[in-house]
Chain A
């Protein structure tokens, strides 16, 4: 790793403790990605906003660093633990949680971030021009940016993206360069895959691929399936980019994803045949998905509680376009600023098992929230869980 004189000074602490910390992180992540230097980035997206995940140490760290740290580039942030507008409806969440979460929110705002509280920044903003360098920590957003958004990012960590936001720089790793070879091709063998199949494919690909992967046998999945693929892939491994390829006439290693492989991942994540609660939106739903859902729910009502997560920006647009009426009439609760993953809104004293179509959601519901999961595609959820 070669630092400029200016960067070297910052690393040695001559420009204050905050920048020293930021450059120490960039040095480690630069070594980790075999980068030779740092390059400027235009947009950072931070994870590490939910008190449930970063805890007291995280809250304290952010409170301290936000005393003098300011973001240098456009910076958006991930979901937090709850929707401020609805928190009073969730009795099981104590005041301490609410206060700590608000402190975290305020620390980020003090640093100058845009308070998006969304894991889907690509659904909120127009993407910058092709090949723009960004630093996205949220894994589904990083994979989306690299694979479908034409942007370039590492699969950043919470700290490497924060360091990028504060310095406006990131290691110039292979993922940020053109023309690197993708060593593995996953051959998608499932016919007429739904969004859950794409999520399982992503989870499988994330496990077997290194930092990038080709996927063959797939033709133009819809946005719901694309987001599901990105979410699944980000959960299981280190893979930061996929590309759909038509032909298999390249020299990469070929791995099949057929019924058997799908079932194995499904069985790993699906631990129940039913559930007490439905959650939709991990990643948070975009406007198109909200519109779809509103059409699917015409004349139907959920028989169980159903939490629907989307960003505040998308919710506002959806309200403006009247997409939310049908969903709320059907009993869906639309929640913003938070997401299925690691939200404390799910009261584990009341809920043993959650129904979702999200592979990413399933992993964290199981491993972090500690509930069982019934995985099924949205069409089946609407068919089986409404009347």
Chain B
């Protein structure tokens, strides 16, 4: 089951991690690079990606980080999570970044590096 949290349509390359993301603590909002050394996508840039991660964690101010990424042109084009959290949901809502929740099976099946389109108006959502 796919659930739409923020509507929209976008296409990009999947950047996938199985670790939750603390946007305030782990992401450089100027560059979009993950700077938490303990994170498995350390030094990877989330810019223009379809970012696939289980859910957001940590500071509520992470919502501002998502908004800043968008303003700085370093944001993902879409986000796909397994579980919704308010920080990511509200950050994406204000920044107009399409965001959806997918089931564990769907989450598993998304391949890192693959081109993917998110379209919340389409019946498939993921293409």
Contact = CB atoms under 8 A, between A and B. Distances in A.
A47 B94 contact: no
A25 B68 contact: no
A21 interface: yes
A25 B25 contact: no
Interface stretch (A51-59, A182-190, A283-291): A51-59
A160 B86 contact: yes
The SS class assigned to the A binding surface is helix
Given A31-B5, A235-B58, A57 B94 contact: no
A33 B101 CA distance: 11
Interface string B72-101: 100000000001111111111110000101
A57 B67 CA distance: 8
B125 interface: no
B44 to A, nearest CB: 16
A61 interface: yes
Given A28-B5, A28-B89, A157-B86, A367 B59 contact: no
B93 A238 contact: no
A154 interface: yes
A98 interface: no
A158 B87 CA distance: 7
B90 A54 contact: no
Nearest to B67: A57
Interface string A211-229: 0000000000000000000
A139 B60 CA distance: 7
A234 B86 CA distance: 13
A364 interface: yes
Given A32-B5, A159-B94, A47 B59 contact: yes
Contacts of A268: 38
B45 to A, nearest CB: 18
A236 B55 CA distance: 12
Contacts of A48: 60-61, 63-64
Contacts, number: 132
Interface string A45-74: 001101001111110110000000000000
A21 B60 contact: no
B40 to A, nearest CB: 15
Interface in A192-206: 206
The SS class assigned to the B binding surface is mixed
A156 interface: yes
A278 interface: no
A227 to B, nearest CB: 17
- Of B26, B29, B83, B86, the most chain A CB neighbours within 10 A belong to B86
Interface residues of A, number: 44
B4 interface: yes
Contacts of A158: 60-64, 87, 90
- Of A33, A61, A160, the most chain B CB neighbours within 10 A belong to A160
B63 to A, nearest CB: 4
B57 interface: yes
- Of B26, B58, B63, B99, the most chain A CB neighbours within 10 A belong to B63
Interface string B23-36: 01110010000011
B84 A159 contact: no
Contacts of A155: 60, 86
A50 B60 CA distance: 12
A157 B23 CA distance: 12
B86 A363 contact: no
A9 interface: no
Contacts of B29: 55, 57
A157 B63 contact: yes
Contact of B36 (A31, A156, A367): A367
A138 B86 contact: no
B93 A159 contact: yes
A58 B95 CA distance: 12
Interface in B48-66: 55-65
Interface in A234-258: 234-238
B84 A47 contact: no
Interface of B: 3-6, 20, 22, 24-26, 29, 35-36, 38, 55-65, 67-68, 71-72, 83-94, 99, 101
Given A29-B90, A157-B89, 17 more contacts: A24-B93, A31-B5, A32-B86, A47-B59, A50-B61, A53-B61, A57-B64, A57-B68, A155-B60, A157-B62, A158-B87, A158-B90, A160-B89, A234-B58, A236-B58, A268-B38, A368-B25
17 contacts: A21-B94, A28-B5, A31-B3, A32-B85, A47-B60, A48-B64, A55-B68, A137-B60, A137-B61, A138-B60, A158-B63, A158-B64, A158-B90, A160-B90, A161-B60, A234-B58, A234-B59
